[in-house]
Amino acid sequence: MKTIDRYILKKFFTTFLFCIIALTVLVIIVDLSEKTDDFAKTKLPVKTIITDYYFGFIPRIDAMLFPLFIFISVIFFTSIMANRSEIIAILSTGISFSRFLRPYFVGGLLFTAFLWWTNQYILPPANQKWATFNSKYIDFNYGNYENTSTVNNKYFKLDSLSYAGVRFYDTTSHTGSNFFVQRFNKIRLVYDLRAQTIKWDTATRKWQLNNVYERTIDGLHQQVKATPNMYMNFNFKPRDLQRDEYMKDKLTTPELNEFIKLEKSRGAADVNSLMLEKQTRNANPVSVFILTIIGASLASRKIRGGSGFHLAIGVVICVLYILVGRFSAVFSLKGNFNPIIAAWLPNLVFGILAWYLYKKASR
* Choice between 7 and 142, residue whose per-residue pLDDT is larger: 7
Residue 243: its pLDDT value, please? 62
For 136, the domain range is 3-143+270-362
Residue 144: its pLDDT value, please? 45
Please enumerate in sequence order all residues whose Cβ is within 8 A of that of 242, keeping only pairs 6 or more positions apart, or say none: 148, 151, 169, 171
Residue 38: its pLDDT value, please? 86
Backbone angles phi, psi at 110, to 5 degrees: -65, -45
How confident is the model over 238-285, as pLDDT tens digits? 877 776 677 788 888 998 888 888 777 766 667 888 899 999 999 999
Res. 146: pLDDT tops 50: no
Res. 143: pLDDT tops 50: no
Rounded Cα distance, 362 and 344, in Å: 26
Q: Are strands 221-232 and 206-218 parallel, antiparallel or unpaired?
A: antiparallel
278 & 135 share domain: yes
14 & 75 share domain: yes
137 & 169 share domain: no
- Using the Cα atoms of residue 81, residue 84, residue 88 and residue 92 in order, give the sign of their dihedral: negative
Average pLDDT of the residues in 304-311: 66
Res. 2: pLDDT tops 90: no
Within 10 angstroms of residue 339's Cβ, the number of other Cβ atoms is: 22
Amino acid at 287: S
Asked, for residue 324, whether it belongs to a domain, the answer is yes
What's the pLDDT band for 138 if we cut at 50, 70, 90? Answer: confident
CB 232 within 8 A of CB 180: no
Question: What percentage of the chain exceeds 90 in pLDDT?
Answer: 45
132 & 154 share domain: no
Amino acid at 284: N
CB 103 within 8 A of CB 327: no
202 & 131 share domain: no
Strand arrangement, sheet containing 221-232: 150-157, 162-170, 175-185, 188-201, 206-218, 221-232
Res. 105: pLDDT tops 80: yes
Residue 239: its pLDDT value, please? 76
Residue 304: its pLDDT value, please? 65
Closest residue by Cα to residue 126 from 201, 51, 29: 51
Domain end position, chosen among 242, 261, 296: 242
Strand (E) or helix (H) holding 120: none
How confident is the model over 328-340, as pLDDT tens digits? 888 887 777 889 9
Question: For the chain, how many structural domains are there in total?
Answer: 2
Average pLDDT of the residues in 133-157: 68
226 & 283 share domain: no
Average pLDDT of the residues in 19-46: 90
Rounded Cα distance, 297 and 74, in Å: 10
Asked, for residue 264, whether it belongs to a domain, the answer is no
Please enumerate in sequence order all residues whose Cβ is within 8 A of that of 125, keeping only pairs 6 or more positions apart, or say none: 250, 252
Please enumerate in sequence order all residues whose Cβ is within 8 A of that of 355, keeping only pairs 6 or more positions apart, or say none: none
pTM of the model as a whole: 0.79
28 & 121 share domain: yes
CB 354 within 8 A of CB 294: yes
Three-state secondary-structure class, residue 223: strand
Asked, for residue 263, whether it belongs to a domain, the answer is no
Asked, for residue 17, whether it belongs to a domain, the answer is yes
Asked, for residue 265, whether it belongs to a domain, the answer is no
Asked, for residue 258, whether it belongs to a domain, the answer is no
Rounded Cα distance, 151 and 165, in Å: 11
Asked, for residue 134, whether it belongs to a domain, the answer is yes
Backbone angles phi, psi at 243, to 5 degrees: -80, 120
- The region that residue 94 occupies, defined by phi over 0 for left and psi between -120 and 50 for alpha, beta otherwise, is left
Residue 305: its pLDDT value, please? 58
139 & 281 share domain: yes
Residue 247: its pLDDT value, please? 79
Compute the radius of gyration of the chain from its Cα atoms: 27
139 & 278 share domain: yes
178 & 206 share domain: yes
Res. 147: pLDDT tops 50: no
How confident is the model over 41-92, as pLDDT tens digits? 888 899 999 999 999 999 999 999 999 899 999 998 998 888 888 888 888 8
Amino acid at 4: I
Rounded Cα distance, 241 and 239, in Å: 5
Closest residue by Cα to residue 116 from 312, 322, 287: 287
Amino acid at 200: W
321 & 343 share domain: yes
Residue 361: its pLDDT value, please? 82
Asked, for residue 354, whether it belongs to a domain, the answer is yes
Average pLDDT of the residues in 318-323: 84
Average pLDDT of the residues in 221-235: 90
Rounded Cα distance, 192 and 215, in Å: 5
Strand (E) or helix (H) holding 337: none
Residue 215: its pLDDT value, please? 92
Amino acid at 55: F
156 & 233 share domain: yes
Average pLDDT of the residues in 137-156: 64
